[in-house]
Amino acid sequence: LAFFLSIALFLAGVHTGLFNGGVIYDNSGNLLSSINMFALLFCGFLYLKGIYFPSSTDCGTTGNILFDYYWGTELYPRIFGWDVKQFTNCRFGMVFWPVSTISYAFAQYERYGYVSDSMMVNMSLQLIYCYKFFLWETGYLASMDIQHDRAGYYICWGCLAFLPTIYTSHTFYLTEHPVDLGTPLALAIFIAGAVCIYINYAVTANAMTLERPKEDKVWGSDAKYIEAEYQTEKGPRESLLLYNGYWGIARHFHYLPEILASFFWSVPALFSHFMPYFYVLYLILLLTDRAVRDDARCKSKYGASWDKYCKYVPYKIIPGII
């Protein structure tokens, strides 16, 4: 609802003449500087809130002000019942992304009188990806971002200021640098990108099989998994570590199609400038680091069961390489 309603309201504003379609592009400098200033101050507020008015017991400081500001002092902050992390990550960052992409396409039309096929491919793939995110939002709420990373500069400033700037930088570039790909190449890039987005979603859906491991099939075969016990404050619990299907290819295989999808919505700009590929490079570094951190966290959580799982699935992201 947040995804579709936000886009619909933006298009309604354009249609009624409330603002022009390229309004975000036209005001990008002022808009992003204002967001950045707000995000820096907001993270300061979250730092103090976690110390003096925490929402839960999962809070605290290290005594290092810079680190605590960067990492955060609270895992699940709420303000009058308002979920801070869900808002910054899902309701602002991930909504700004598709809306600004559409605005950049409008801005190209306002400047050149048409929307290039490169912009159409770039925009369409990102809209599909963002729709996929909201389709899977409950899964995201169980990810490392929510369950492990505290609400500080790293997450909240990242989603409020960094995401709107960097995640749309390729579309921003295309606005005033249209590329005419031709129908065959544009269609080929779109199909390749759409397939990568589908695989990224299918990997996650594959893991959901473990809700009914004895009944459901993985690629037509019985699910293969390790019953991994771990300790909580309320006593021992158990997770099932799937090691066939997509999850038998690599422990974080879903990162590979995500990186490739970002490449396919960037490559319509072709290769005359590095800017459209900065996000791809950033994503490679981000997800590689995340794979390493997630492995370390799982090792600490599951112990010998994780070692056993790694013997079945020896690679982190790319089979035979890493």
Tens digit of pLDDT for each residue in 164-192? 999 999 999 999 999 999 999 999 999 99
Contact call for residues 219 and 196 (beta carbons, < 8 A):
no
pLDDT for res 207 = 76
The three-state (H, E, C) secondary structure of 72-130, written as one string: CCECCCEECCEEHHHHHHHHHHHHHHHHHHHHHHHHHHHHHCCCCHHHHHHHHHHHHHH
Q: Name which of 46-50, 144-148, 179-183, 267-271 the model is least confident about.
A: 144-148
Please, what's the b/e burial string for 167-202 (b: 16 or more CB within 10 A of its CB; e: otherwise)?
bbbbbbbbbebbbebeeebbeebbeebbebbebbbe
pLDDT for res 126 = 98
- Which residue in 133, 141, 143, 151 sits closest to 95, CA to CA? 133
Amino acid residing at 193: G
- pLDDT beyond 90 at 141: no
- pLDDT beyond 80 at 117: yes
What's the average model confidence in pLDDT over 289-318?
95
pLDDT for res 142 = 83
For all residues of the chain together, what is the average pLDDT?
Answer: 94
Q: What pTM does this model have?
A: 0.93
What's the average model confidence in pLDDT over 98-115?
98
Q: What whole-number percentage of the chain has pLDDT above 70?
A: 98
**What are the pLDDT digits (tens) for 34-66?**
999 999 999 999 999 999 999 999 999 999 999
Q: Could you give the 3-state DSSP secondary structure of residue 229? A: strand
- pLDDT beyond 90 at 221: no
- pLDDT beyond 90 at 146: no
- pLDDT beyond 80 at 262: yes
pLDDT for res 139 = 83
